[in-house]
Structure 1
Amino acid sequence: MGDIKKHRKKYERPYKPWDRRVLEETNRLAGYYGLRNKRELWRMSFLAKKYRRIARQLLAAPKSESWKVEPIIKKLQALGILS
């Protein structure tokens, strides 16, 4: 059967969801990329934020932790973010 994991949200909602600027921007992006709902946009934004945070931590890390860089680069290439 396998071990049951704790379910976590894979996205973050905007702090001010009814802000006019936020609504216009999310509508524009969802229309441009053909997303079904805003949650898909929030999920990708959350993923980008996560990898940006990891990249900042790796840039600040000492050279002895350079082994952590390779898997992150491979993952970003697989996602199509890096070429």
Structure 2
Amino acid sequence: GLSYSVDNTVPTATITLSDNRLATGETAEVTITFSERVTGFELEDLAAGNGTLSNLRANADARTWTATLTPTATG
């Protein structure tokens, strides 16, 4: 007979910043590392307080994603 399994475990994510003390006009790389491969991840899935995110891209493994954070104020 036909046998299959369903993965219903939600992936976890770790988010790190290359620099957490930015001044206006500076940028930092944001790295999002998932516990498993993800697809369909978009900038609209993220929210950044005191800044904007751009240039979201996946590494070849689709587990590690990177974006650019541009602060709207120093802090």
Shorter-chain TM-score above 0.5: no
- Structure number with greater Rg is 1
The answer to which structure has the higher strand fraction is 2
The answer to which structure has the higher helix fraction is 1
What TM-score does the superposition give when structure 2 sets the normalisation length? Answer: 0.23
